[in-house]
Amino acid sequence: MLNFITIPIMLFLLCILLGISTKRIFHFRKEKNVLIVGFVAFFASFFLISTPFMLFEIKLSYMIYILEFFYGIIIGVGLILACKYLKKNKVNIKEKCKVFYTNKYQFILFIAFITMVAYQIGYVVFFQHADIDDSYYLAQTNTYSFTDYIGKVEPSSGLTFLTASKQYALVSFEIIYAVINRIFGVNTAYLAHTIWPVFAIICHYVVVYALAKRIKEAMKWEFCILYSVINLFSGFTAYTDGAFLLNRIWQGKTVFVAIFIPIMILEFIDIYEKINFREIIYLWMILLAGISTTTVAIYLFPILYFCLWLGEGIAKKNIKSLIGLCIPIVGIIPWVIIKLKIMYTAGNSGASVQQSVTGGVDNLSYSQQLFSRFLNGHSIIIVGYIIALVIIGIIADKKIRSVIVYPAIVLFITFANPVFIKYVAQWVTGVDVYWRIFWLFNISMTFIIGTILIMEKCKNEREAVIGLLVSLAIILACGTSVFENGGWNVRSNIYKLDSSVIQIADAIHKDSKEHTKILLMPKDMAYGIREYCGDICTIVNRYSYESFRDSGLKEKYDVLQKEIYNALYKDQIWDSDKLKNQINEFDIDYVVIYTGSIQNNQIPDEFTAIYKNDQYILYRCY
């Protein structure tokens, strides 16, 4: 419970103080939100510091020392600056609060928005939603923390003789979890599933609030309420930014789409009037921070930047400004080149990445990707999006059109063009995740801005309330609650993992103090083991076939699958002596066997039961 309170507070303090220090060092304009600047600075600086540790397999412990020293200095400077600011502006802050409380309509909207955010955070914290991808992402964190190295050991299994996939190289998001795990001693699954959402969801809505102020200051709370409701009712599909926010905010790709994409749009709004070298530095920091979160950001963020860059050019027609905006992209090229080189030239692993990018491209359908997959058959969303674009194009000023309308047109003509789908999928996005390019249309944001522009035409508060209620009714009619349509259940434990996984892992930890243990268990039960801890290796898991194949051990895996796994879990018939020899050959320390299969088979004498229930028995194999 202490970590649940302490870690979010520490993260907020770190970002706020980092934001204060960064704004002072680079003389950023005072309108910039301190928390957002700090969030960007944290991810960007963390990525810069962690890069050599990822590339050269230097110990994580050394990196933690550097981080503690660096952020310690920043926090010290930030505290001094914060105290000076509060002392100087204490009267102004009190006056602003008084003015805010006297406007009852705005205050009611504020309370409604805070209630929506609190409900979403509370639901995500106290309920659970299983995502199979966590079996890799959180396994990375546990592997880094346990082995003290980044990228040296294949994370999904923890086996040292397997080669780690290079597809996830040069991504520092999971390392943040590993550092927090080491400093606070908090379990990774608990950190990701229960603690991190408190911090990240609030950060998302701080960005939403900042956007609302830039777009229409007088209607900022209406904007925020609409955004929170759209997020909640994005459950008609699993792939929109709102669904990602509430279903998997603990994953790096969600932090990218829900926080860094809006931050980039916010910055392009800020620089519309005037761009200087300080803003170029900040844009570079945003790009660097964004690509640190997930592999897909390596191509999605530059594409978004290109569309916003061209949108700015269409609106302002200022060649000098456009040339200046090329500098941030040049600044991230070294990381992009290194990432691509690692992915596509790293032996067998590189070959598998290339195959995953190009395989099945001939059968790719644009309508299937957009309407069937991304929107899950809800074509009405596209109709609403187009209407909102037209409204913004007619009513909004050039500044808003430059970040919403023009980039959408550029994106559709170029990277999201149905004509070019095969080329883009083959050479840029990859086939299986082509649909993620639709994130860059910012459908939710576009709909809300269009709605706010119409509501602005209301003559009084009564008409504004009616407009807000009508907009909310449309959202409710077209959408489905994420929590009703996303496989949510009351959490069974704070880790939000299958209870059997925790029971098995705890039984092994109680039985053995060995540094690492190799466990064989049914694949459908193995997902949570590596999320829970880093010292138990799972020799068969969701990724084991690819891991053995890419390590040149496909034949060994075939033997493991046919001779041991199938015998124990599919056919449920085995020879005791043969099983014992094969278990020893693969150095398996523990094995889970279904209780029902024991009646017709003999357990080797060397096996010792250390945990059992009605479904299975956990044996020590030595």
The DSSP H or E segment spanning 58 is: none
| Residue 437 in this model has a pLDDT that exceeds 70 | yes
Model confidence band, residue 493 (pLDDT cutoffs 50, 70, 90): very high
| Digit-coded pLDDT (tens) for 184-239 | 999 999 999 999 999 999 999 999 999 999 999 999 999 999 999 999 999 999 89
Neighbours of 205 (CB within 10 A): 23
Q: Which amino acid is at 298?
A: I
| Residue 351 in this model has a pLDDT that exceeds 60 | no
Q: Is 592 helix (H, G, I), strand (E, B) or coil?
A: strand
Assigned token pair, 567: 């015998």
Rounded (5°) CA angle 360-365-369: 100
Neighbours of 540 (CB within 10 A): 23
Measured CA distances, 441 to 258, 361, 447 (Å)? 13, 23, 11
- Provide CB contacts within 8 A for 470, sequence distance 6+: none
Residue 97: predicted pLDDT? 66
Alpha carbons 205 and 200: distance in angstroms, whole number: 9
Residue 593: predicted pLDDT? 97
| Digit-coded pLDDT (tens) for 556-576 | 999 999 999 999 999 999 999
Least-confidence region, from 109-113, 376-380, 457-461? 457-461
Average pLDDT over residues 498-522: 94
CB 353 within 8 A of CB 342: no
Residue 436: predicted pLDDT? 95
| Residue 355 in this model has a pLDDT that exceeds 60 | no
CB 435 within 8 A of CB 373: yes
| Residue 93 in this model has a pLDDT that exceeds 70 | no
Assigned token pair, 270: 């800020």
Measured CA distances, 516 to 145, 160, 381, 537 (Å)? 13, 10, 50, 7
Alpha carbons 148 and 166: distance in angstroms, whole number: 18
* Residue given tokens 């761009």 in the structure block: 275
| Residue 116 in this model has a pLDDT that exceeds 50 | yes
Model confidence band, residue 431 (pLDDT cutoffs 50, 70, 90): confident
Residue 350: predicted pLDDT? 40
Neighbours of 46 (CB within 10 A): 22
Average pLDDT over residues 239-249: 95
| Residue 486 in this model has a pLDDT that exceeds 80 | no
Q: Residue 618: beta bridge partners? A: 592, 611
Measured CA distances, 110 to 224, 225, 455 (Å)? 9, 8, 17
3-state SS string for 507-555? HHHHHCCCCCEEEECCHHHHCCHHHHCCCEEECCCCCHHHHHHHCCCHH
Q: What is the DSSP string of 96-144?
A: HHHHHHH-HHHHHHHHHHHHHHHHHHHHHHHEE---TTHHHHHHHHHHH
Q: Is 71 helix (H, G, I), strand (E, B) or coil?
A: helix
- Each domain of the chain, given as residue ranges in start order, spans 2-478, 499-620
Average pLDDT over residues 433-454: 96
Alpha carbons 450 and 149: distance in angstroms, whole number: 48
| Digit-coded pLDDT (tens) for 137-191 | 999 999 999 999 999 999 999 999 999 888 889 999 999 999 999 999 999 999 9
Alpha carbons 419 and 408: distance in angstroms, whole number: 16
151: exposed, middle or buried (C-beta count within 10 Å: 0-12, 13-18, 19+)?
A: buried
| Digit-coded pLDDT (tens) for 588-605 | 999 999 999 998 899 999
Average pLDDT over residues 273-298: 96
Neighbours of 440 (CB within 10 A): 21
